[in-house]
């Protein structure tokens, strides 16, 4: 009886220390550009990494030449990977659901006027000064950073073309679609400039992810 009591008091023998936890994984630490390029590939984008691109103050690091995301583009563009990824999100989560809502069919092509462009911001003042030859330069456009695109319109599956120039002010289903796309774009991009903004945006919607915030819807 005394022996049993002694054994009970001793309890179970001491357990060996737990094995040291494994080293924290380093595979999860991915260069942001690598992660972004992977996202483009996963979205079936057609693109090519360019390394450094442009000259002087228009030099940008690691942009991509992209000729289509989930949707075809009318011609390729040069954008930072982040802007390219944002556009893919825009195509998938803004443009397509709104096309189905308004037209009961998908958009098959994005039409744009341009992406990367080493130039100063275009305002009515700078454009007039350029015309008169009195330009004093100005702030670089977000196009010069590869963070902007000028969206001209869309082509639907049945061949219908929705054009910012023709349809923005014309009303109807196509106008309603463009207005709703522009309004929703303000949740995705930092700056959205439409034909409602000024005379320089009568035929396109400017979208950028620069540091400013302006929903010029």
Binding residues vs Zn ion (CB under 5 A):
148, 150, 206
**Shortest Å, Cβ 201 to Zn ion:** 8
Q: Which is nearer to Zn ion, 37 or 207 (CB)?
A: 207
- Angstrom CA distances, 73 to 4, 85, 104, 182, stand at 84, 14, 21, 18
Q: Which is nearer to Zn ion, 37 or 148 (CB)?
A: 148
Asked if residue 194 lies in contact with residue 175, where contact means CB atoms within 8 angstroms, the answer is: no
Look at the chain and count its residues: 217
**Shortest Å, Cβ 203 to Zn ion:** 11
Give the SS3 label for residue 69.
Answer: coil
Q: Which residue is nearest to Zn ion (CB)?
A: 206
Q: Which is nearer to Zn ion, 112 or 174 (CB)?
A: 112
Give me 78's structure tokens. Answer: 């040069």
**Shortest Å, Cβ 202 to Zn ion:** 13
Q: Which is nearer to Zn ion, 39 or 74 (CB)?
A: 74
- The contacts of residue 169 (CB under 8 Å, 6+ apart) are 175, 195
**Shortest Å, Cβ 31 to Zn ion:** 29
Cα separation, 78 vs 20, in Å, equals: 49
């Amino acid at each position: 009886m005394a022996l049993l009591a002694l054994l009970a008091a001793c309890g179970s023998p001491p357990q060996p220390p737990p094995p040291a936890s494994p080293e924290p994984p380093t595979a999860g630490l991915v260069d942001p550009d690598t992660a972004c390029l992977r996202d483009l590939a996963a979205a079936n984008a057609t693109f090519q990494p360019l390394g450094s691109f442009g000259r002087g103050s228009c030099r940008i690091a690691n942009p991509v030449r992209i000729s289509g995301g989930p949707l075809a583009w009318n011609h390729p563009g040069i954008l930072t990977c982040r802007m390219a990824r944002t556009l893919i999100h825009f195509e998938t989560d803004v443009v397509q659901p709104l096309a189905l809502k308004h037209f009961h069919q998908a958009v098959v092509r994005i039409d744009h006027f341009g992406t990367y462009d080493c130039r100063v911001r275009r305002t009515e003042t700078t454009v007039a000064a350029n015309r008169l030859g009195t330009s004093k330069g100005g702030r670089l456009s977000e196009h010069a950073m590869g963070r902007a695109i000028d969206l001209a319109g869309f082509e639907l599956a049945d061949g219908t073309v929705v054009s910012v120039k023709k349809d923005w002010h014309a009303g109807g289903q196509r106008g309603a679609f463009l207005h709703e796309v522009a309004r929703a774009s303000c949740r995705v991009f930092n700056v959205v400039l439409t034909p409602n903004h000024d005379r320089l945006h009568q035929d396109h919607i400017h979208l950028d992810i620069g540091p400013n915030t302006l929903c010029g819807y």
